Structure 1
Amino acid sequence: MTAAAPMTALTIRLEDELFAVEASKVREILDLVPVTEVPHASPFVSGLINVRGRVVPLADLRVMFGMAQPEPDEDTRIVVMEFDLDGEPMIAGILADKVHDVTDIESASIEEAPKVGMRWRPEFVRGIGKRNGGFIIIPDLGRIFETQGGRSAPAAASEERSAS
């Protein structure tokens, strides 16, 4: 029996936690760029950025994980990723307090997120990996963006109706 291939991941820091996103879904890593704020938008995706002439939503995972949102500093980066949302490819930028490195996380070391005892909603965590004696949170980006899209679309539609 062959062991499953390791997950090649880009590790990023949000607050004091290490997160891992699939490296194959990362398109590029940017220094901070100007952000166009979107009025009445969800705090999760409150702005848009220009990535090589394309309008891209900028998401802040710290909002979904109930973390503090400090002002950006010299380590803050935007990780531009492409992933599937409802079967369609989507490009989004994700704020990171710091980008670390690309590493392999052995599939045998990835466990399901516990249902209790976590500070994050377990449905937003695809798994928890172990590396160098510490834990790495693997967020479920598809589910996070689906949830936010599903929540914010009806609210935006009702606000448009009441404004007209």
Structure 2
Amino acid sequence: MAGDESQYVTLCLGAEVFAVPVSLVREILDYRESFRIPEGPDYLIGLIDVRGRGVPVIDLRRKLGLKPVEIGLATRIMVVDVPLGDRVLPLGLVADRVLEVANFSTEDRDPAPDVGVPWRSEYIEAVVRRNGSFVVIFDMARLLTASEAALLAAAA
């Protein structure tokens, strides 16, 4: 018998596939220019207006230490609700493309792998093997450090 399944929205950064729980996704927008915030971290692109509210947007590639690429026709901003203790931070995540809504069984999920060297893996909730590759499921509450979350909340 298959384990419980949960739904995730999958997104790509180059050839790498990541996933965010559907329950945290507000909407997916075409990429648009944002209002730059002076002296913000390099991964903070700026603010966009989403239904009358300023939402900080981050470049996931830079946040994860990946090489930046040019914005393309498939580039999207996924607006998510990041749980931060007693509140929720709306946050835009820039992805090269958004793929689909996928179901992942709990029995197919593995914890973040031990690669034998220190690396920042606390934002990884699980890894799922799929179609001969891997999908990394974000732990959205841990994607940002407390100080980063405070900075982005203040920017909004």
Mapped to 2, the partners of 1:6 and 1:119 lie a distance apart of 31
Aligned to 1:21: 20
Q: Read off the aligned partner of 1:130 and give its amino acid letter.
A: R
Q: Read off the aligned partner of 2:29 and give its amino acid letter.
A: L
Mapped to 1, the partners of 2:120 and 2:34 lie a distance apart of 28
> Residues 43-100 of structure 1: CA distance to partner in whole angstroms, max 9, x if unpaired?
2223111111110000122122210111111010000111311221111110010010
**What is the alpha-carbon root mean square deviation over aligned residues?**
2.4
TM-score, normalised by the number of residues in structure 1: 0.83
Contact 1:44-1:60 within 8 A present in 2 as well:
yes
Judging changes above 3 Å, is the alpha-carbon distance between structure 1 residues 48 and 119 closer, same or farther for their aligned structure 2 residues? farther
SS in 2 for 1:82: strand
Aligned to 1:108: 107
Q: Read off the aligned partner of 1:81 and give its amino acid letter.
A: V
Mapped to 2, the partners of 1:25 and 1:151 lie a distance apart of 19
Aligned to 1:49: 48
Contact 1:42-1:152 within 8 A present in 2 as well:
no
List gaps (5 residues or longer) in structure 1: 157-164
Aligned to 1:69: 68
Q: Is 99-108 or 83-92 further displaced after alignment?
A: 83-92
Spell out structure 1 runs of 4+ moving beyond 3 A: 117-120, 150-153
Aligned to 2:124: 125
Judging changes above 3 Å, is the alpha-carbon distance between structure 1 residues 92 and 70 closer, same or farther for their aligned structure 2 residues? same
Q: Read off the aligned partner of 1:48 and give its amino acid letter.
A: L
Q: Read off the aligned partner of 2:43 and give its amino acid letter.
A: F
Mapped to 2, the partners of 1:152 and 1:90 lie a distance apart of 11
Judging changes above 3 Å, is the alpha-carbon distance between structure 1 residues 65 and 50 closer, same or farther for their aligned structure 2 residues? same
Q: Read off the aligned partner of 1:79 and give its amino acid letter.
A: M
Q: Read off the aligned partner of 1:47 and give its amino acid letter.
A: G
TM-score, normalised by the number of residues in structure 2: 0.87
Contact 1:12-1:97 within 8 A present in 2 as well:
yes
Judging changes above 3 Å, is the alpha-carbon distance between structure 1 residues 118 and 72 closer, same or farther for their aligned structure 2 residues? farther
